[in-house]
Structure 1
């Protein structure tokens, strides 16, 4: 079981690794859902994590709020991906949508190209895609080599137990071709029950260990 801990900055990284996290999603500003950390934080976290054989997934998000980005913001994201790659970060976490809630395929193609050779997680922007469009989104992400989709199965306002059926629909769409990573409200107390019910081998949370 891969327990991916979402961690803000470096401060708690040693603790969560010691407590059993075997992958880290590295963020700043978790209060807004996570943004990109500084180069210094990324470098020190990568150094520590590699010494403890723990992969790092770096959040690539220039600000909180909606997942519709302008050209300047996308250029910032591309530069941050190059920086993460230069520092030896294992993977990156990002998402980009249009005003209509579709995948911003042009932006995503650019970001995916920048991340060449790194793992890619499409983050909870997925949950902002209208349900009737999600199956097509999954297919596009598979075709473009994205490794996993982080999803709560709906609004974070509702407990993950109420989103299980929608996450199962995403798993069905994925058809074993892309990892579906459940997150949002998964804790060390419910992780075994939720992963068992969904039949998944990875889970994500801020309190997963």
Structure 2
């Protein structure tokens, strides 16, 4: 089982890796769901993680609030992901939606621009492709729209989708049926990464119910308070 620890800055990264986290989703400002960490934090985390056989996924998000970004914000994200790639991260984490009549839809134009920017950044650094996680912006889509989104994200080369399987704040146990549906639908095209409300207390139960090999959370490994 791969445990991905959601880290706010570097502070708890060493303890999380020592406790069994083999991948870190690095961000800042968890109070708003996570934003892009500083270049210094990225560099320090990558250095430590790689020395201790762990990987780093870096959040690319310019602000809290919704996931609908204007052109200025898109340029910020492209610049930030370039810096993250040059710092040696193993992957990027982002998501983008746009308003529609039914609520929210996948913003394919912004998604395509970010995926292209990631590809250009890896080429400039003479690196191979890196992982891309589409984060919990996915959960703003309706259940029906999510299936179409899986198709689009898979076609774009997205590695995994981080999802709670339901509305924020709902118990993860209430969302297992929908998560199972997403996992079956995605097949081997990309990974569905369950997160939100998963802790050391229920991680084994969730993993067994879903048959997954990766789980995500801020309490996914045992840490001292």
Q: Name the structure 2 match of 1:177.
A: 189
Partner of 2:76: 76
Q: Are 2:125 and 1:122 aligned?
A: no
Cα distance in 2 for partners of 1:21, 1:163 equals 24
Shift of 1:113: 1.3
Moved over 6 A (4+): none
Does residue 105 of the first structure (1) align with residue 108 of the second (2)? yes
Partner SS, residue 134 of structure 1: helix
Query: What is the distance in 1 between the residues matched to 2:8 and 2:169?
Result: 21
Q: CA deviation at 1:118?
A: 1.4
Note the alpha carbon deviations across 1:103-126, whole angstroms, 9 max, x for none. 111111111112221100000000
TM (norm. structure 1) is: 0.98
Q: Where do 1:6-21 residues align within 5 Å?
A: 6-21=6-21
CA–CA distance in 2 between the matches of 1:41 and 1:62? Answer: 16
Give the TM-score, by structure 2 length.
0.91
- Whole-angstrom CA distance in 2 between matches of 1:145 and 1:174: 13
Aligned residues: 209
Stretches of structure 2 that go unaligned for 5 or more consecutive residues are 120-128
- Paired with 2:143 and 2:176, the residues of 1 have a C-alpha distance of 14
Structure 1 residues without counterparts, runs of 5 or longer = none
Residue 174 of structure 2 aligns with which residue?
A: 162
Q: Do residues 66 (structure 1) and 78 (structure 2) align?
A: no
User: Alignment partner of 1:67: what SS?
Assistant: coil
- SS of 1:115's equivalent? helix
